[in-house]
Structure 1
């Protein structure tokens, strides 16, 4: 049956069963029905410093990530989610039990609690800019940080909305505390609205996603879900079923040390060799020189002395086979440079990080299909995208939990100009609820 739903003043039309929660949506505004808590939660979560540390060998990499994990468990228990707990590795697990008798596939929702090492997450002071009208947002603690409409394309879709930023000296933490807050609000709505029919819903909050270790210790068996959805994307209405495939590489350079006063004709500085190798990397294979489906080779750190040096790279492409080609570019450049240094050697170590989840998701088309339908039911222009990055879902998909990525509304992530809108976060909550209903309806 074709029906019209009036949601935030927008008329929508799509096929929908008239039952339970969907019937209620016909008769009242979803804002007043749901009484969103996502904004209050988000503002509470971002002030907790959860920055991860790539130099740490502990799990999680920083103990402070557990501070947010403990708060989330406390809030879930207060909601009545009786099995919510934080494990020794900093993962939060919880279950919203089914409220129907029939068999419904178990679905899971996942977001990460850590923030990126790229920008400080200490002392975050969030600011809510009400009724945004296209003006420049000057961040008060550093007036040089200005969020301009011309620099942030999605701001044109936010006129009249409420924009949340940090104060100018830190990142905001919308990546991925927006996703955490959205899932938590969805849990609250499911518990307080039993008319929303659903199967078992599993919740997973992870540490260390920003340093590539987000699911290293995740217990997929304990999660026990058939399908998963990470809430860690950008613009409202976007869903990502394709990520980069990723390798990490380390180039070890062994030079020849000598006393600098007597070094002529002898010294071969590993530091200078490293500098020449980096300078020889092609621009067209760099992050700043690529876009769309183009892959890249990116040096992310250099450490060294005269005798030894090491360059850390990340290698990215949507095509798994091209990762080896990109590694060979590094290998060839190093070999060519070292022809000038006959006493020096190099070794390239390559380690897989994650793979493009599309190959897994293509085998389970209904998972993506239901996600797209849920966004449409929430009144959004649903768009299937590829992401020039990775999510926990990339690795979860290959661990047996097919897991596309749904928008969380985060923008300009890993920077002092990071922002999110209240209304986009609310739409993400609606999308989660519609997903729960769709899986129940189709079972």
Structure 2
């Protein structure tokens, strides 16, 4: 892209939004939001929605941002449609001080930047779609942080849609209910959204990845905290007495099925994923996330962790290993039995915008997982991004612009009885 080229509205918004820190923190999950930075992001977005002319703009004490867009003429009595995105960034990579820039991609490796003398790049082997993106402008970070397209791209695309509707009153749409929510990346997401007050009959999240991706099926998800308590004595007199928590934790991990980890699974295959470890020879805490699309297999995976704990307790003494499981979200697929039109309209809107859609059972979750199972059916639309949760994250400019076009066509489908 030429240095002085004018940015489209959605890209200009996105470039601003990603520079506002809003990383969530799983170590502070008892508080919503889990970080003060999310309050700042919420306040900023509240002001954005006010400038866009939205009604009932509210930023609450938990950093939930909600607003309404009045229906177009003739659609006032139709059910309201919700649009939701999350304002937090994940903790899996640095997310503070994001420096976005636009790369005109001509093929080969997509270089985000050079960090400490090391080139941070995505190869076509890692992301085969790169071959289809030659000649396009692509937004990257400088390689030292996330880009935070997950999910500030969704936020920017929804705001750009609102601007399009404001600027062109001829575009049809029902009343729209907007929600930007905190802490999605740590499993809280839209859990505190008051659905009655929100007022939407149906909803879509804008939180997917590659252009055209659409999903209405997610993992079932749980977090497992494994606490190992050792028995410490002086190592010189430790024989037949010491129980080293680090050693036992290593045994626990070795008993988790090795080929059922994320790096060995795909499609509908579930997994166990160790995400953190801390402690000493006296006490260790391991944290896992457990995922499966199938409910029965999901329950069986959780039981495997309990069985491993029982096996090690029989060896080292009761109470040596404890497993605490916390459900994070459920597969939302059953929520759409009575409203298949939510799926059909999304696929049609993609095609009308020149996007060939593809349906996936997403290997993750969205705010729609919670919302759907709480009674607000909410499938998930793509943002256009790639490499989420990585310093190699990127999003093509054209993909963001086409997503806004798709949203314009989607909301129009809810403006007719």
Deviates further, 197-206 or 329-338: 329-338
Q: 1:362 to 1:153 in 2, by over 3 A?
A: farther
- 8 Å contact kept, 2:22–2:41: yes
- 8 Å contact kept, 1:256–1:344: no
- 8 Å contact kept, 2:309–2:323: no
Q: Which residue is 1:125 aligned to?
A: 99
Q: Which residue is 1:5 aligned to?
A: none
User: 2-side partners of 1:379 and 1:107: how far apart?
Assistant: 23
Find out whether 1:101 has 2:96 as its counterpart.
Answer: no
Find out whether 1:65 has 2:44 as its counterpart.
Answer: no
Aligned-residue offset at 1:368: 1.1
- 8 Å contact kept, 2:206–2:380: yes
- 2:84 paired residue among 73, 88, 110: 110
User: 1-side partners of 2:113 and 2:191: how far apart?
Assistant: 39
Deviates further, 106-115 or 148-157: 148-157
Q: Which residue is 2:175 aligned to?
A: 200
User: 2-side partners of 1:123 and 1:58: how far apart?
Assistant: 24
Deviates further, 376-385 or 186-195: 376-385
Find out whether 1:228 has 2:203 as its counterpart.
Answer: yes
User: 2-side partners of 1:231 and 1:322: how far apart?
Assistant: 28
Q: Which residue is 1:362 aligned to?
A: 337
Q: Which residue is 2:109 aligned to?
A: 136
Cα deviation, 1:7-34, whole Å, max 9, x if unaligned, reads: xxxxxxxxxxxxxxxxxxxxxxxxxxxx
Q: Which residue is 1:44 aligned to?
A: 16
* 1:15-54 to 2 correspondences below 5 Å: 36-54=8-26
User: 1-side partners of 2:198 and 2:234: how far apart?
Assistant: 59
* 1:1-400 to 2 correspondences below 5 Å: 36-56=8-28, 57-102=30-75, 103-130=77-104, 132-142=105-115, 143-342=118-317, 345-400=320-375
Cα deviation, 1:74-95, whole Å, max 9, x if unaligned, reads: 1221221132221110011011
Aligned-residue offset at 1:406: 0.4
Larger Cα-atom Rg = 1
Aligned-residue offset at 1:251: 2.3
Find out whether 1:421 has 2:393 as its counterpart.
Answer: no
- 8 Å contact kept, 1:237–1:380: yes
SS in 2 for 1:149: coil
Aligned-residue offset at 1:329: 1.7
User: 2-side partners of 1:220 and 1:157: how far apart?
Assistant: 40
SS in 2 for 1:301: strand
Aligned-residue offset at 1:36: 4.3
User: 2-side partners of 1:273 and 1:161: how far apart?
Assistant: 51
The alignment yields a C-alpha RMSD, in angstroms, of 1.7
Aligned-residue offset at 1:342: 4.1
In the alignment, structure 2 segments of 5+ residues that lack a partner are 1-6
Q: 1:343 to 1:261 in 2, by over 3 A?
A: farther
Aligned-residue offset at 1:141: 3.6
SS in 1 for 2:414: helix
TM-score, normalised on structure 1? 0.88
User: 2-side partners of 1:140 and 1:236: how far apart?
Assistant: 24
Q: 1:159 to 1:306 in 2, by over 3 A?
A: closer
User: 2-side partners of 1:99 and 1:139: how far apart?
Assistant: 42
Aligned-residue offset at 1:343: 6.4
User: 2-side partners of 1:305 and 1:230: how far apart?
Assistant: 42
SS in 1 for 2:355: coil
Q: 1:383 to 1:92 in 2, by over 3 A?
A: same
Q: Which residue is 1:405 aligned to?
A: 380
In the alignment, structure 1 segments of 5+ residues that lack a partner are 1-34
User: 1-side partners of 2:145 and 2:265: how far apart?
Assistant: 28
SS in 2 for 1:436: helix
- 8 Å contact kept, 2:106–2:134: yes
Aligned residue pairs total: 407
User: 2-side partners of 1:307 and 1:138: how far apart?
Assistant: 44
- 8 Å contact kept, 2:224–2:290: yes
Aligned-residue offset at 1:344: 5.6
